Chain A
Amino acid sequence: MTDAYVVGVDMIKFGRFPEKTVPQIGAESALLALDDCGLGIQDMEALYCGNLMQASAMVGQRILQEIGQTGIPVVNVSNACATGATAFREAWASVKAGLYDIVLAVGVEQMGKGLLGGGGPAKGIPKEGLFGSGTMPAVFAEAGMEHARKYGTTFEQFAKVSVKNHHHSTMNPKAMYQIETPLDTVMNAEMISYPNTKLMCSVNVDGSAAAVIATEKKARELGLMGRAVKVRASVLTSDRWQERDLVMPDVNTCTREASAKAYEMAGVGPEDIDLVELHDCFATAEILHYENLGLCGDGEAGRMIDDGEVALGGRTPVNVSGGLLSKGHPLGATGIANIYEVSTHLRGEAGERQVQGARIGMTHVIGLGSACGIHILEKAA
């Protein structure tokens, strides 16, 4: 099978755009990604579109109605917070399989403000607050407290994740926020679900990101290998049965299985990874994933954040974009926005936040329900 390369990739600055439609927001990043490689929609052979909240509304086709209706096949993808990564992976698979030489993947979301999860009842009475909480901050707080139970991880260690990611975002003009949040600010912010304060919850924003994926042959023909990024691994997993998973979504097992497969597919190990964009939907979640992705041993995640190993300049910088905590988390766009971030570092174009000498990077998302998507990317030789 041919190798597949990201030849164009970009995202819009995340923010709140209530005056725009979802297809309009998606169209913006689609055009940016096409501009990034100097191509047009006429050059694309298929479109894979990720969007969650309007999953039944043909968002991909409506993006083409904004930027050019060329009659190409469109696949609309929905997979919770792994939606963007799944759209990217479907696009990658179509190129790997030889169906197409060059395709476009777009992820887009328009979010409301406020809590996600814990919705109203189909029948009877509301269950939220009666049988615990189904809100996302609570679910991920419980997952974090499981880690605290096993390894003694502290509220302060969880909070440090948010300090780090907010600091990183001050160097990312495309992040929703560029604000330093010192430790006491994070820990004294409004408590949402202990141990997650408001500053330890990802930001609901609108946004989109897009990537153009091509075969090696096509990338060479178009003269695009200079800035191309090779997709070394693409993995998607679902949640294997676990004893508590009916009442406590298990975000660990599917991530561990996905990362093991991704390392195998890429023929690399965690020690080869120069930067990681992982799914910090809540500060508690990021801690779990250091171990789930093999960046450290089990029980070492607290030490890893204490020692600064995951900060820019550390051994394995994590979420130098600012992460979902500060860059923002437009669900369907997130999985492609993190591919943009890693690609930008591999291209050496990340400016102030550049991870020096970055050659191989990893992206990770997890959608509850569950779906885990991991990609390993490498600067083209």
Chain B
Amino acid sequence: MSQPLPAVDYLKLPEGGEPYLEGHKCQACGASFLGERSVCSKCGARDQIQAVRLPNSGSLYSYCIVHRSFPGIEVPYVSAIVDLDDGTAIKGNLINIEPEPSKIEFGMPVEVVYGDALGRKDRDGNSYTAYFFQPKSG
């Protein structure tokens, strides 16, 4: 059985280490990106982008509750926009929370957790690791 692959290229799975999210920061203006790039789309600086390890905590910026999606996708679920503690914005599923507006608060602290990509496999049978958000415990 081969090791799971990262479901997106900004999710890193170091051998023998903990999974983490990788951001790319512009050293000239501080803009933060997900995924590798060489030019900053905020200030246009070239070759100033540095890979950084993103924090596993942040807060809920906005969300919606998806009740209808494409066939085969389990609903309802919470689609969330999260501001990580370093200011990087990232989108994902908010899990371990009731998908009810009254249960979800703007600004609530969340943490990034890692796990199997909902059982999804590619054509070659590879399994994948994904990231999720959940309400911060404690």
B70 touching A118 by the CB < 8 A rule? yes
B7 touching A125 by the CB < 8 A rule? yes
- Which B residues are CB-close (under 8 A) to A145? 62-64, 106
- Which B residues are CB-close (under 8 A) to A126? 120
- Which B residues are CB-close (under 8 A) to A184? none
A128 touching B63 by the CB < 8 A rule? no
- Which B residues are CB-close (under 8 A) to A20? none
User: Looking at chain A, what size class is its interface with the partner chain?
Assistant: 35 or more
B79 touching A247 by the CB < 8 A rule? no
Closest to A244 in B: B89
- Cα of A155 to Cα of B101 in the assembled complex, Å: 10
Stretch at the interface among B12-20, B50-58, B90-98: B90-98
Closest to B75 in A: A129
A125 touching B64 by the CB < 8 A rule? no
User: Looking at chain B, what size class is its interface with the partner chain?
Assistant: 35 or more
B118 touching A130 by the CB < 8 A rule? yes
- Which A residues are CB-close (under 8 A) to B74? 129
- Cα of A149 to Cα of B66 in the assembled complex, Å: 18
Residue A267 at the B interface, CB < 8 A?
no
Closest to B107 in A: A149
B5 touching A128 by the CB < 8 A rule? no
A247 touching B89 by the CB < 8 A rule? yes
- Cα of A243 to Cα of B61 in the assembled complex, Å: 12
- Which B residues are CB-close (under 8 A) to A131? 7-8, 91-93, 130-131
Residue A265 at the B interface, CB < 8 A?
no
Q: Of residues 80 to 127 in A, which have CB atoms within 8 Å of B's CB atoms?
A: 115, 118, 123-127
Nearest-CB distance from B47 to chain A (Å)? Answer: 18
Residue A248 at the B interface, CB < 8 A?
yes
Stretch at the interface among A40-48, A60-68, A187-195: A187-195
Query: Given that A142-B81, A241-B42, A248-B89 are known contacts, is A129 also in contact with B64, CB under 8 Å in the complex?
Result: no
- Cα of A131 to Cα of B64 in the assembled complex, Å: 13
- Cα of A190 to Cα of B23 in the assembled complex, Å: 38
A244 touching B81 by the CB < 8 A rule? yes
Nearest-CB distance from A299 to chain B (Å)? Answer: 15
B63 touching A125 by the CB < 8 A rule? no
- Which A residues are CB-close (under 8 A) to B73? 128-129
A193 touching B65 by the CB < 8 A rule? yes
Query: Given that A130-B7, A130-B118, A244-B81 are known contacts, is A146 also in contact with B62, CB under 8 Å in the complex?
Result: yes
Q: Of residues 1 to 33 in B, which have CB atoms within 8 Å of A's CB atoms?
A: 5, 7-8, 31-33
B117 touching A128 by the CB < 8 A rule? no
B8 touching A129 by the CB < 8 A rule? no
Residue A223 at the B interface, CB < 8 A?
no
Query: Given that A129-B69, A129-B93, A248-B91 are known contacts, is A141 also in contact with B122, CB under 8 Å in the complex?
Result: no
Q: Apart from A145-B62, A194-B65, what 15 extra A-B contacts exist at CB < 8 Å?
A: A115-B70, A124-B122, A125-B122, A126-B120, A131-B131, A132-B80, A132-B92, A133-B66, A138-B79, A141-B65, A142-B79, A143-B62, A193-B68, A194-B64, A243-B89
List 18 contacting pairs A-B, 8 Å CB cutoff, sorted by A. Answer: A115-B68, A123-B122, A124-B7, A124-B122, A125-B117, A127-B8, A129-B70, A132-B80, A133-B64, A133-B79, A143-B62, A145-B62, A190-B68, A193-B66, A195-B64, A195-B101, A243-B32, A243-B89
The 3 closest A-B pairs by CB, nearest first: A141-B64, A132-B79, A129-B73
